[in-house]
């Protein structure tokens, strides 16, 4: 495409701006309006990133970059079942883990220090219950063949305009409490994205705690619930805060007033 372009530099810039959030797409907008431009960008890179040969290159590059920055324990959130081969056929899920294992082993051999890698299989709330069931089934299959590669489960997407975690509670609890020997998901760990909102009428944080989440992604809404703060501290739940993401998506306009300061002061 670059070769057919009259201005190669302008083409590169337009490609970059199609993939990244630009200042014009963010400035002066409410979070939901920013999300409208943000969500479709994932679709633009899916076909590139999920073709299995490119996926291997990208994963290896990612892990090597971590090692350069002295990060030797890496955990990636991963939406499974999307890799495809040269004929555009989907690669069966256990085969997907074989590809990942191959890359990780290459990186381990070249690493100057012991290197650890694990996945959190991640469901998309916007796709619905059937998709979440598929992700949970992949955890079952993965834990049977590659138990060392899977840490647990997460759910993502814009919190204020997608189904709450409670909508998927029967499926998640079903996996956690499945005592069948062949299931492999009994006691499954959860690491939920929750509390990425200032709306006190959304209760994903509460449901995450009820599901014994070990960590909470974003979680700045926690500042609105003093009793829940105490529960999070009591259960030793880690809150993974990403202030720059919150600023880019319009949840905070000034990092000096980000709720994480309040949470840190209260011992979270």
The answer to whether 187 and 157 have CB atoms below 8 angstroms apart is no
What mean pLDDT is predicted for residues 27-45?
A: 91
In Å, how far are 7, 44, 48, 265 from 17, measured between CA atoms?
A: 15, 11, 16, 38
| Residue 259 CB neighbours (<10 A) | 20
- Which residue do the tokens 């014009």 mark? 24
Is residue 12 included in any domain, yes or no?
no
Other CB atoms within 10 Å distance of the CB of residue 24 = 10
Q: E-assigned strands of the chain?
A: 73-78, 116-124, 150-156, 189-194, 215-218, 238-240
* Whether residues 151 and 219 fall in one domain: no
226-245 confidence digits (pLDDT tens) = 999 999 999 999 999 999 99
- What is the rounded distance in angstroms from the CA atom of residue 46 to the CA atom of residue 21? 16
For residue 94, pLDDT over 90 is answered with no
* pLDDT, tens digit (0-9, with 9 covering 90-100), for 100-116: 999 999 999 999 999 99
77/129 same-domain check: yes
Clarify whether residues 176 and 59 are in a common domain. yes
One domain, residues 43 and 94 = yes
How far out from the chain centre does Cα 130 lie? Answer: 19
Q: In terms of domains, do 217 and 161 share one?
A: no
Q: Using the structure block, give the residue that is written with the tokens 């350069």.
A: 68
Percent of the chain with pLDDT strictly greater than 70: 100
* CA angle in degrees (0–180, nearest 5) for 147-148-149: 90
Q: What is the pLDDT of residue 45?
A: 82
Domain assignment of residue 151, yes or no: yes
The CATH number assigned to the domain holding 59 equals 3.20.20.140
pLDDT value for 239: 97
Q: Is residue 135 a part of any domain in this protein?
A: yes
Which of 8, 21, 6, 7 has the alpha carbon at shortest distance from 248? Answer: 21
Residue 54 sits in the same domain as residue 167: yes
Say yes or no: 56 and 183 in one domain.
yes
Q: Are 160 and 238 within one domain?
A: no
How big is the chain by its Cα radius of gyration, in Å? 20
Contact 245, 221 (CB under 8 A): no
Give the residue numbers spanning the domain of 51.
23-188
**What per-residue confidence (pLDDT) applies to 197?**
97
The predicted model scores a pTM of 0.92
Is pLDDT of 46 > 90?
no
How far apart are alpha carbons 110 and 223 in whole angstroms? 43
Residue 136 in any domain: the answer is yes
Count of domains observed in the chain? 2
State the Cα–Cα distance between residues 172 and 185, nearest whole angstrom: 10
Supply 168's token pair.
Answer: 């998927």
What pLDDT digit, counting tens, does each position of 211-223 carry? 999 999 999 999 9
Same domain, 81 and 213: no
Q: How many CB atoms lie within 10 A of CB 199?
A: 10
Q: What are phi and psi of 2, to 5 degrees?
A: -60, -40
**pLDDT higher than 80, residue 47:** no
């Amino acid at each position: 495409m670059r070769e057919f372009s009259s201005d190669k530099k302008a083409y590169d810039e337009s490609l970059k701006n199609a993939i990244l959030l630009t200042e014009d797409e963010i400035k002066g907008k409410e979070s939901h309006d920013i999300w409208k431009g943000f969500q479709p960008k994932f679709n633009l890179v899916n076909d590139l990133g999920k073709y299995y040969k490119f996926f291997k290159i990208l994963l290896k590059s990612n892990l090597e970059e971590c090692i350069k920055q002295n990060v030797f324990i890496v955990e990636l959130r991963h939406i499974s079942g999307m890799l495809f081969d040269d004929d555009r056929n989907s690669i069966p899920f256990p085969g997907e883990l074989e590809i990942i294992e191959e890359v990780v082993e290459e990186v381990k051999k070249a690493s100057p220090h012991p290197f650890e890698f694990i996945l959190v299989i991640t469901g998309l709330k916007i796709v619905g219950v059937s998709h979440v069931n598929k992700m949970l089934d992949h955890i079952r299959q993965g834990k049977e063949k590659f138990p060392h590669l899977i840490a647990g489960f997460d759910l993502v997407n814009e919190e204020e305009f997608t189904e709450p975690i409670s909508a998927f509670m029967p499926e998640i609890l079903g996996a956690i409490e499945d005592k069948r020997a062949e299931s492999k998901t009994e006691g499954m760990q959860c690491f939920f994205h929750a509390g990425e909102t200032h709306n006190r009428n959304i209760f994903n944080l509460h449901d995450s705690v009820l599901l014994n989440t070990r960590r909470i992604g974003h979680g700045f809404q926690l500042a609105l619930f003093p009793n829940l703060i105490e529960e999070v501290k009591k259960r030793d739940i880690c809150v993974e805060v990403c202030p720059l993401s919150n600023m880019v998506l319009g949840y905070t306009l000034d990092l000096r007033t980000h709720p994480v300061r309040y949470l840190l002061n209260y011992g979270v």
